Structure 1
Amino acid sequence: MSSQSTTILIFACTMMILLSMFVVESSVRINETRLTRVRLHLNKINKPFVKTIQSPDGDVIDCVVSHLQPAFDHPKLRGQRPLEAPVERPKGHNSSDERVETIQLWAESKEFCPKGTIPIRRTTENDVLRASSLRRFGRKRKIRGVRHDTMSGGHEHAVAFVNGDKYYGAKASMNVWTPEVTDASEFSLSQLWVISGSFGNDLNTIEAGWQVSPELYGDGYPRFFTYWTTDAYQTTGCYNLLCSGFVQTNNRIAIGAAISPRSSYNGKQFDIGVMIWKDPKHGHWWLQFGSGVLIGYWPSFLFTHLQKEASMVQFGGEVVNSRSRGYHTNTQMGSGHFADEGFGKAAYFRNLQVVDWDNSLLPLTNLHLLADHPNCYDIKAGKNNVWGDYIYYGGPGRNAGCQ
Structure 2
Amino acid sequence: MPSKTLEVTTSEGDIDQVATLAKPQAETPQPIASPLAVPMIIGEGCDLSGLLSFDPESIEPAHSTVRDEPSPSVTADQLQCLKALLSSPIETLVENSEEVKNTLEETQPHVPVTLQLKLWPVVMLSAFRSRVQLARQRIDSRHTHLPLEQATVAGGKDARTTTQWENTSPFLMDRQTNKTIVMEGEDIYDCIDVNLQPALSQPLLKDHKIQMEPSSFPIGLNVKPLLRQVISQAHMSILECPAGMVPILRNRRRDQISSKKIDIMINKDKQQEEAGIKYYADLYGVRATINVYEPKVKKGSNDASQTAIQIDNGPRGHVDSICVGYSVSPSAHGDNFARFHAGWRNGKLNKTCFDHDCPGFVQISHNVGLGGRVQPVSVYNGPQYVINILIFKDPKTNNWWLSYGEDNTPIGYWPSSLFNSINNKGKFSFWGGYVSGPTASSDSPQIGSGHFASEGYGKASFMRNIQIVDENSKLVTPNEYKGRYGISDTRKYSVDGYKVNKYGIHMYYGGPGNLV
Measured against aligned partners, the alpha-carbon deviations of 1:159-206 in whole angstroms (never above 9, x if no partner) come to: 20211x311111101011111101520000000110001222x11100
Q: Does 1:216 align with 2:332?
A: yes
Moved more, 91-100 or 277-286: 91-100
Please name the residue that 2:381 is paired with. 266
Given that residues 283 and 470 in structure 2 are in contact (C-alpha distance below 8 angstroms), is that contact kept between their aligned partners in structure 1?
yes
SS at match of 2:254: helix
Select 1:94's aligned residue among 192, 214, 222.
222
Say which SS state the counterpart of residue 306 (structure 1) adopts: coil
Structure 2 counterpart SS, 1:320: strand
Amino acid at match of 1:267: G
Q: How many Å apart are 1:96 and its aligned residue? A: 4.5
Confirm or deny that 1:184 pairs with 2:312: no
Identity of aligned residues (%): 31
Matched with 1:355 is 469
Cα distance in 1 between the residues matched to 2:219 and 2:503: 18
Partners of 2:504 and 2:211 lie apart in 1 by: 33
- With over 3 angstroms needed to count, the CA separation of the structure-2 counterparts of 1:68 and 1:92, relative to structure 1, is same
* Residue of structure 2 in register with 1:82 after alignment: 210
**Retained in 2: the 8 A contact 1:317–1:394?**
yes
Cα deviation, residue 305, structure 1: 0.6
What count of residue pairs does the alignment treat as equivalent? 342
State which of 131, 134, 139 in structure 1 corresponds to 2:259: 134
In structure 1, C-alpha distance between the alignment counterparts of 2:444 and 2:272, rounded to whole Å? 14
CA contact (8 A) 1:279 1:285 kept: yes
Q: Alpha-carbon deviations, 1:193-242, whole Å to 9, x = none?
A: 10001222x1110000000111111111101101111228x742311111
Residues 81-111 of structure 1 show CA distances to partners (whole Å, capped at 9, x for unaligned) of 521212310011127559773223x54xxx5
Shift of the alpha carbon at 1:62? 1.1
Q: Say if 2:490 is the partner of 1:374.
A: yes
CA contact (8 A) 1:321 1:328 kept: no
State the shift of 1:113 in Å.
1.1
Deviation at 1:348, TM superposition (A): 0.7
> Is residue 236 of structure 2 the alignment partner of residue 119 of structure 1?
no
CA contact (8 A) 2:191 2:248 kept: yes
Give me the CA root mean square deviation: 2.5
AA in 2 matched with 1:362: V
Out of 319, 342, 346, the residue aligned to residue 226 of structure 1 is 342
Where does structure 2 lack aligned partners over 5 or more consecutive residues? Answer: 1-165
**8 Å Cα contact 2:445/2:515 also seen in 1:** no
Aligned to 2:314: 197
Q: Which residue of 1 aligns with 2:197?
A: 69
Whether the 8 Å CA contact 1:139–1:238 is kept in 2: the answer is no
Runs of 4+ in 1 over 4 A off after TM superposition: 78-81, 95-100, 384-387
Matched, 1:56 2:167: no
* Aligned mates of 2:474, 2:265 — CA distance in 1: 32
**Structure 1 portions without partners, runs of 5+:** 1-38, 145-152
The two structures have a TM-score, normalised by structure 1, of: 0.79
Contact 1:205 1:229 in 2 (8 A): yes
Distance 2:341 2:223 in 1: 21
Quickly say closer, same or farther: Cα 1:322–1:74, change in 2 above 3 A: closer
How far the C-alpha of 1:380 sits from its partner, in A, is: 2.0
Partner of 1:21: none
Q: In structure 1, the residue corresponding to 2:171 is in which secondary structure?
A: helix
Please tell me whether the aligned partners of residues 45 and 242 of structure 1 are also in contact (alpha carbons under 8 angstroms): no
Check the 8 A contact 1:188/1:318 in 2, yes or no. yes
Residues 209 and 237 of structure 1, relative CA distance in 2, 3 Å threshold: same
- How do 1:3-402 residues align onto structure 2 when only pairs under 5 Å count? 42-45=169-172, 47-78=175-206, 80-94=208-222, 96=224, 101-104=233-236, 106-107=237-238, 111-124=239-252, 126-129=253-256, 131=257, 133-137=258-262, 141-142=266-267, 153-163=270-280, 165-182=281-298, 183-200=300-317, 202-231=318-347, 235-291=350-406, 292-320=408-436, 322-323=438-439, 328-365=442-479, 366=481, 367-383=483-499, 385=501, 388-398=504-514
Provide the secondary structure at the position in 2 that maps to 1:178.
coil
The more displaced of 170-179 and 111-120 is 111-120
Q: Distance in 2 between matches of 1:343 and 1:387?
A: 18
Q: Is the 8 A contact 2:235 2:387 kept in 1?
A: no
Deviation at 1:40?
Answer: 11
Mark the CA change 1:172 to 1:342 in structure 2 (over 3 Å): closer, same or farther: same
**TM norm structure 2:** 0.62
For 2:104, the equivalent position in structure 1 comes to none
After the TM superposition, which of the residue ranges 134-143 and 246-255 deviates more from structure 2? 134-143
Q: 1:353 to 1:322 in 2, by over 3 A?
A: same
Do the aligned partners of 1:99 and 1:272 also contact (CA within 8 Å) in 2? Answer: no
